[in-house]
Amino acid sequence: MTKMPNTVINKDVLTGGAFIIQDSKPEDTFIPEEMNEDQRMIADMTTEFIEMQLKPRIPEIEKLKEGVAVDLLKQAAELGLLGAHMPEEYGGMALDTNTNTIIADRLGPAAAWTVTFAAHTGIGMLPILYYGTPEQKNKYLPGAINGDVKAAYCLTEPSSGSDALAAKSRADLSEDGTHYILNGQKMWISNAGWADIYIVFAQVDGNKFTGFIVERDLEGLTLGAEEDKLGIKGSSTRQVFFENVKVPVDNVLGEVGKGHLIAFHVLNTGRFKLCALCVGGAKNSAITAIQYANERIQFRQAIANFGAIKYKLAEQAIRIFAAESAMYRTSNLIQQMNKNLIAQGASYADAKQQSAEEYAIECALLKVIGSEALDYVVDEALQVHGGMGYSEEGTAARAYRDSRINRIYEGTNEINRLLSVDQLLKRAMKGKLDIVGPAWAVQKELASEPSAEQPEGVYGREEKAVNDFKKALLMVTGAAAKMQMDGKLNLKEEQEILINISNMLVEILTTESTLLRVQKLAGMEKAIDQAVYDAILRTHITDATMRMQKEATDALVSFAEGDLLKTMLTGLKRFVQYEPTNVKQSRRLIADTLIAANDYCL
């Protein structure tokens, strides 16, 4: 790719957040088109489970018919899906990160059952893997892997949602020191109705946020009624009440007072997996839109022939493709770091946790990217269906309702946007990520005449666009950080600016990831013509350029003024100069490819 200023560090493997300052090469990313034989076999097995076992039972799942969701968990366990990410010593398969991402992707069409699966295998099992004692792991993980033990995660309370550490549930050590007496209330707990164990967070002595493993049959643990939800009706969501529940001291998870580490670190993987499930669900909804557009006849022709419909189908594909590209790229980064850590002597659990933590910025962004791509896709899928989309007879209405929760749980999208920038700035201040040097290089570049050098290579313009996006981000972030250091700005109180910056991060991550994937595809044999992938890339960059300009402008005018603002806005024009493509023609090419295949074939 075109090189960034010479202050940019080049490494073989990007560290977390370094995608904004370092170069990447196509060969460093993983794309789904290069699955190996084993991965394809596992992907096909997962799809067969969804199509043959799960989809026929969706009506029962949606009605919360007793035993159905749990029965499907057991069937998934028999296929190894519940332990694909777990060590072999507990009965898991210890598959690599990319393969686990493929599984989550393929499980995306599983409707509300994905909540059951994700809550159990993610936030239910990972706290024990990461923080459990050897005894706790041996006691609970084998059963969780074979489906005999179902897990739930109890964090949210009526008074504490995004502010998790404000929890009021309390745990006090008994006089004889053998157990903690747990009192409190948790709400919005997925899997609550059929869980056997609950990962519960409470304040020891009122001020030490701590995790516990609480078994269902303990006296004093009771459940509220099933919540009447807008969507994901097939998942069990209840309140959980604790009244003088005696939790053995052996069931403290991790260290007393260190529960925040469990609560926050587990969410990195949860956010990443949520993106994968959203991408898989989006592809499924796109297929229903494509097929209905081919079937629905109006004015004596299929509505797929109309430009307005082609726009929707193509835009669905562009957003899915970009999200999927960023997801698998990050998956590969996590996998590489995981392998490196194990090679250095880290345990399976420590390597898994640390590699996910390293890419906390990317995981937060991917949660936003995946959930918002899905929201767009299900909305337009319903629109393509017209009146039938509003009927519960088809799947469009259910997908529309089910999608909405994804922007709320695992941290709201607003929280994840703010978190991504907060993590970026913290890493910069701690010296873990050098953005000062590259930001200063951009400032010096703005003081010089624009280069007349023209991009070279088939994707030279696109490489330059990506690097210019990075420069725009560094310019805005650097200027805001300097004003904060000068005491003229308090970014903690300027959430709008932080969200502007996070939206720019989203554009950079998706655009560069899409470019790397398209470049890699250019050197592969494939069923789809390269021109279709080029159309996706160039349409995405055309639109992303406009979005980058708006986000950067909105941020700059909110904190800069006078000559500084004028200089910044003039400089910004250098970094949003991608030559527009004929997006109408490009979208028609993309849509025609999907329509001819009658499938999401990308």
Answer yes or no: is 14 within a domain: no
Tell me the β-bridge partners of 298. Answer: 301
CB 240, CB 192: distance < 8 Å: yes
302 is written with which tokens?
């299929």
Answer yes or no: is 240 within a domain: yes
Per-residue model confidence (pLDDT) at position 448:
84
Answer yes or no: is 17 within a domain: no
**Together in a domain, 590 and 554:** yes
Per-residue model confidence (pLDDT) at position 39:
98
Residue 331: alpha-carbon gap to chain centroid: 11
Per-residue model confidence (pLDDT) at position 455:
83
Answer yes or no: is 478 within a domain: yes
Per-residue model confidence (pLDDT) at position 96:
97
Q: 271 burial class (0-12, 13-18, 19+ CB within 10 angstroms)?
A: buried
Answer yes or no: is 25 within a domain: no
23 is written with which tokens?
């170069």
Q: What is the CATH number of the domain that holds 225?
A: 2.40.110.10
Answer yes or no: is 9 within a domain: no
Report the amino acid identity of residue 203.
Answer: Q
> What are the pLDDT digits (tens) for 393-438?
889 999 999 999 999 999 999 999 999 999 999 999 898 999 989 9
**Together in a domain, 469 and 586:** yes
Domain extent for 327: 260-414
Tell me the β-bridge partners of 211. Answer: 201, 253
**Together in a domain, 428 and 570:** yes
**CA distances to 79, 177, 370, 514 from 283, in Å:** 23, 53, 11, 17
Per-residue model confidence (pLDDT) at position 3:
41
Q: pLDDT means per 10 residues in the chain (602 residues)?
A: 37 83 93 97 98 95 95 97 97 97 97 95 97 98 98 92 82 96 96 97 95 97 97 96 98 96 91 97 98 96 97 98 98 96 95 95 98 98 96 93 96 96 93 90 86 85 96 94 90 95 98 98 92 98 98 96 91 92 97 98 96
Name the CA dihedral angle for 56, 59, 61, 65, rounded to a multiple of 10 degrees: -120
CB 575, CB 475: distance < 8 Å: yes
Per-residue model confidence (pLDDT) at position 164:
73
Domain final position from 94, 125, 150: 150
Answer yes or no: is 4 within a domain: no
Q: What is the CATH number of the domain that holds 576?
A: 1.20.140.10
Q: 135 burial class (0-12, 13-18, 19+ CB within 10 angstroms)?
A: exposed
Q: Which of 315, 362, 410, 463 is catalytic?
A: 410
Per-residue model confidence (pLDDT) at position 276:
98
Per-residue model confidence (pLDDT) at position 446:
85
pTM for the full predicted model: 0.95
Per-residue model confidence (pLDDT) at position 159:
83
- What is the spatial distance between Cα 13 and Cα 17, in angstroms, rounded to a whole number? 12
Domain final position from 225, 258, 291: 258
Answer yes or no: is 24 within a domain: no
**Together in a domain, 489 and 559:** yes
How many domains does the chain divide into?
4
**Together in a domain, 371 and 454:** no
62 is catalytic: no
Per-residue model confidence (pLDDT) at position 12:
59
Domain final position from 207, 223, 258: 258
**Together in a domain, 107 and 159:** no
